[in-house]
Structure 1
Amino acid sequence: MRKHTIIFIIFGLLTITAGCKKWLDVNSDPDTPQNPDPSSVFPTQLAGIPRGIQFDARYIGRYIQNWNTDLSTRTADVNWDQMGYTGSSDTNGDIWRQVYFGLGQNLNYIIDVGRAKGQWDYVGAAYALKAYMFQICTDQHGEIIFTEAFKENTAIFRFDGQDTVYQGVRNYCDSALLYLQRTDLNPSSNKLSRGDFVYGGNTARWIRFVYAILAHNYNHLSNKSFYDPNKVIEFCDKSFQSIDDDFLIPFDASKNDDSNFFGPYRNNLTNFRQSNFIVQLMDGTLLAGARSYVNRDPRIRHMLSVSQDTTNGNGGYRGVSPGAGDPNFSTTDSLRKRQRVAAPFGDSLYDNPSSNVFTPNAGKYLFRDKAVSPVMTYAEILFIKAEAAYRKKDYATALDAYTKGINAHFDFINRGTMPRGNDKLYKGDPISVQQRNEYLGGANVKRSAATLTLRDIMMQKYIALWGWGFVETWADLRRFAYNQVPDERTGQPVYQGFTLPATISADNQGKLVYRARPRFNSEYVWNRDELSRIGALAGDYHTKPVWFILP
């Protein structure tokens, strides 16, 4: 974490006025202000969120089987499929990087300057982003640096337990709500609308976002004796009210740095293939118990990619198992070549159609150059509410939230307009009313509170978060020890059909993965004494269960 201090010192030098004011005046650049307004800093903070999540999604996305590698001989990729990691590397450390370097001091700057200028809306939104980023960072890594995160004049930064971080996130949320609810803004200062390309300065939506963070925070503690489903439901009810509240980061796709990391242009998903698990969730195998056209989820044609050969009984949707790769990847047989698992960029595609070239309409679903990167959605909140109500044994409320959650994800896919003119997520025509009704009335969906299970809720949540909600899905899977903790009501596995890798990485010493290791370049290089204290130098540290899943 030594770089924190270096960044702070450089920032401080830029703002010194005493003793060298004339020198700074002579050398100032009007195009690069030394004391920028929060309105010019805030957009970069929003843009930094998907960078952290999408970079790391290439790795935790394998743990949760959103996708896996296409080639079983690609050693490094296979190790991640098998719940391992890459040593002496910053891989899977970009959320960490964004929390401490990308957003860290910049959010503090927005808060400090915003307070001085009476820009309470910026202050509140900055606190909301701090809460969100620390929440996903601790959910991914477990113990992290919190109370000493931006401490000056030190090269060693103390790690805090997750109980401290979880409470700290709640405190940030309280501060966010306090400032976002203030109406005595400085009339001569820039308003949040100038720098906010997500909600356009709508503080009511920012407040709902804060309550959504709190809903996640409280719901992750479902294994604790002090878990309170009533608080979770309260926060859900105060948070998102429709898909209009979805927190979506748009991309302009005019150059590399403002193009979707998952799009064809940036070429980061070429060797990724949809998993067997998501295919079987959507083709009827797992939820309906039979793979047939009548049981096929109408969302599948918009989210997943179909292979050239469609004779396999589910329309040609194929997936890979973790570490096994695509058995047809290198085949020379003409029929088997057509049965390869398609790339995420489109149907019947096995290679990237437009690497390093911006091609309008190239890609599919969230894997386009100009597709949004979701941060949180209304559907997600409804499934959190459904789980909390189910745990409370209020099965009627659980059924209502579960049904609304499925509908909200249909609405998410069918959304006709996106921020900043980003591409629609559906391909061709949106899902029709008839298709939706047939699915809701079919074998995949429960319609009775008496028959609803936690498995139904969590499987539908998995579908709704597939391709973007990586940290939340991993939090869910770990709370249930992947598929090993049953639903207390039914005694059945919650993630039935989620098959662990046939071979677990040798790094794990026979255990499953439960955390990402701290970022190598900032911690293992500069902060090793503290890592030694918490046991992070052990080769199997990534298998140590995180606090929030423990009883």
Structure 2
Amino acid sequence: MKKLIYTLSALVALGTASSCKKFVDINTNPNAPTAVDAASLLPPIQAGMERGVWYDSRYIGQYAQIWGSSAANNVWDEEGYVPGSDSNGEMWRTIYFSIGQNANLMIQDATAKNKYEYLGVAHALKAWGWQNGADIYNYMVVKEAYDPTKLTFDYDDPQTVYAEAVKECRLALGFFAQATKTDNITGVSTTLAKGDYMYAGDRSKWVKFIYSILAQNALHMSNKSTFNADSVAYFVDHSFMNNGDNASVQNTATNSTDANFWGPTRGNLSGFRQSDFIVRLLDGRILAGSATQDTLADPRLPLLLNRSKDRVYRGVIAPLGDVNSADANTSIPAFAGFNNVTKVGTAKYLFNDNARGVLMTYPVLQFMKSEALFKKGDMAGAYTAYINGVKGALDFASNPPVAGSLTGATNYISAADQAKYLASKSVAQSASALKLSDILQQKFIALFLWNPIEAWSDERRYSYDATIFQGFTKPGTLYPDNAGKQVYVVRPRYNSEYIWNVPALKKFGATAADYHTTKPWFVLP
């Protein structure tokens, strides 16, 4: 990727040098950074966000059974991990390094120059980091994270991490309100657009993005006695109104260093294969109750997945890999972006080189609202949000976002095929017929490729319940250190924490061989 020098303060124990796709040469002494313009800091932070999700999604996608390795007995398919490795540690690095001190420097510059909109953005990005970090890692370093007097850091409990995400959201909303009060701009600000690869300076969309983080935070408390379904609905209603509001980072695909992670040029999914779980969700055997594969069950099927040469859709069952790999006729093909696709715009769905790096979407938020209202007992409200989610997800797959557009203009799925699907057995046809499994499995499809982290969070919130996630099966072989238990957390990043910060890890049991099977706070009652 293109060389990028990030600013780094006291994160010797929490991060290492990085490179990413936007040019920013910020300072010469990372331990004593000079003042930096906020606009120059924003592009590398946003690039780091999508990079973090991309890299770790490969492994978390295996935990969630969105895909699996083409080879048998892969440790991630067995819900394990690789000791002594930073694999599945990129989000840790993103939170403390790509965002981290860079966001603090944005705040420093914006405070000194009364750039309220950049203060809003900086706190929004910190909130996004803490929310995702809490979901993935549970315990995190918050209070001491940027203390320049320390080389080792004490962890904070997960309640503190989730609360920090909410606090940062509130600060962000306050600063955007102050920005509008100051200059009366609610839409595009040319000053903010200077460095904004997500929303091109549109303040209104940034405010909606902040509410999406609050919605995610509130929904993930669903197992707590304090859970408030009305709060989830409120946050969703103040968030994305359609797919034009979706949060995503631009990839221009001018070369491989600025190409979409899932595209054919980078080839990052070449060793993975679609799961049997996602195949059966899309082909009608689960949602429509078909006895056999019905390729018309979901019009997204040919966009998201690929058929074998014998025209049958197949997926891997963890941890068996592709059991048909020796048979060219029935072996499971690589993902959509790898079928001899060489040019931008010729692949499908988000497999294009110039597809945007998606962080959150309107349909997923609608499914969040639907689940919350379902749990409240408001079946009419839950059903309305559910249908909005299904329609939005079909629209998203039909018009995936590409460089220069938040919504795309591809129209992969005709209006007639969308209407046919909405009237099919794969979609609940009334509020009285709606089940929790309908909501969460449609959400699982809507999250395909771009957000395995949220899909895995849902599965863990419901303890991998096969009556809700129908078709999800516990791997036939689990990683030996699991002691028969399923995976629930990702271990902190090895090269920072298990090298430099071991005493702090021991305080909450993170040095145990089976620590990754510990149920995180957000899934507990």
Structure-2 residue corresponding to 1:435 = 417
Conserved 8 A contact 1:220-1:479:
yes
One-letter code aligned to 1:71: A
- CA distance in 1 between counterparts of 2:369 and 2:61 reads 24
Structure-2 residue corresponding to 1:402 = 386
* Of 501, 508, 521, the match for 1:527: 501
- Structure 2: 5+ residue stretches without partners: 1-10, 18-26
Map 1:100-115 → 2, pairs under 5 A: 100-115=96-111
- CA distance in 1 between counterparts of 2:266 and 2:494 reads 24
Larger deviation, residues 319-328 vs 171-180: 319-328
- CA distance in 1 between counterparts of 2:263 and 2:123 reads 30
Give the drift of 1:294.
7.3
Q: Is 1:506 aligned to residue 462 of structure 2? A: no
Give the drift of 1:97.
0.3
Conserved 8 A contact 1:371-1:423:
no
Equivalent position SS for 1:90: coil
Structure-2 residue corresponding to 1:469 = 451
One-letter code aligned to 2:350: L
Conserved 8 A contact 1:344-1:363:
no
- CA distance in 2 between counterparts of 1:237 and 1:184 reads 23
- CA distance in 2 between counterparts of 1:464 and 1:421 reads 19
One-letter code aligned to 1:504: L
Cα deviation code 1:418-472 (max 9, x no counterpart): 342699596xx52111111111111111111111100000000000001111111
Give the drift of 1:417.
6.1
Q: Is 1:86 aligned to residue 82 of structure 2? A: yes
Q: Is 1:266 aligned to residue 248 of structure 2? A: no
- CA distance in 2 between counterparts of 1:5 and 1:266 reads 25
Residues 292/305 of structure 1: CA separation in 2 closer, same or farther (3 Å cut): closer
- CA distance in 2 between counterparts of 1:360 and 1:63 reads 30
Structure-2 residue corresponding to 1:343 = 334
Equivalent position SS for 1:98: helix
Structure-2 residue corresponding to 1:488 = none
Structure-2 residue corresponding to 1:23 = none
Map 1:453-492 → 2, pairs under 5 A: 453-483=435-465
Give the drift of 1:204.
1.1
TM-score w.r.t. structure 1 length? 0.87
One-letter code aligned to 2:424: G
Residues 531/416 of structure 1: CA separation in 2 closer, same or farther (3 Å cut): closer
* Of 127, 141, 155, the match for 1:159: 155
Give the drift of 1:322.
1.0
TM-score w.r.t. structure 2 length? 0.91
Give the drift of 1:126.
1.0
Conserved 8 A contact 1:364-1:425:
no
Residues 398/14 of structure 1: CA separation in 2 closer, same or farther (3 Å cut): closer
Structure-2 residue corresponding to 1:494 = 468
Map 1:264-303 → 2, pairs under 5 A: 264-290=264-290, 291-293=292-294, 296-303=297-304
Structure-1 residue corresponding to 2:249 = 249
- CA distance in 1 between counterparts of 2:39 and 2:212 reads 24
- CA distance in 2 between counterparts of 1:470 and 1:67 reads 10
One-letter code aligned to 1:394: D
Q: Is 1:2 aligned to residue 21 of structure 2? A: no
Larger deviation, residues 416-425 vs 220-229: 416-425
Conserved 8 A contact 1:399-1:447:
no
Conserved 8 A contact 1:483-1:494:
yes
- Structure 1: 5+ residue stretches without partners: 16-34, 311-315, 485-492
- Runs of 4+ in structure 1 deviating by more than 6 angstroms, as ranges, are 5-9
Larger CA Rg, structure 1 vs 2? 1
Give the drift of 1:6.
9.3
Q: Is 1:305 aligned to residue 306 of structure 2? A: yes
Equivalent position SS for 2:404: helix
Structure-2 residue corresponding to 1:325 = 321
Equivalent position SS for 1:367: coil
One-letter code aligned to 2:520: V
Structure-2 residue corresponding to 1:28 = none
Count, aligned residues: 500
- CA distance in 1 between counterparts of 2:361 and 2:406 reads 17
One-letter code aligned to 2:431: A
- CA distance in 1 between counterparts of 2:308 and 2:15 reads 51
- CA distance in 1 between counterparts of 2:125 and 2:344 reads 32
Larger deviation, residues 157-166 vs 195-204: 195-204
Residues 385/416 of structure 1: CA separation in 2 closer, same or farther (3 Å cut): closer
One-letter code aligned to 2:70: D
- CA distance in 1 between counterparts of 2:67 and 2:194 reads 38
Equivalent position SS for 1:340: coil
Cα deviation code 1:324-375 (max 9, x no counterpart): 111121x2xxxx312111101358x4xxx47xxx633454322232111210
Conserved 8 A contact 1:387-1:454:
yes
Conserved 8 A contact 2:63-2:76:
yes
Conserved 8 A contact 2:243-2:407:
no
Give the drift of 1:255.
3.0
Equivalent position SS for 1:248: strand
Give the drift of 1:80.
0.6
Give the drift of 1:71.
1.7
One-letter code aligned to 1:374: V
Give the drift of 1:254.
2.2
Structure-1 residue corresponding to 2:66 = 66
What is the root-mean-square deviation in Å for CA atoms of aligned residues?
2.2
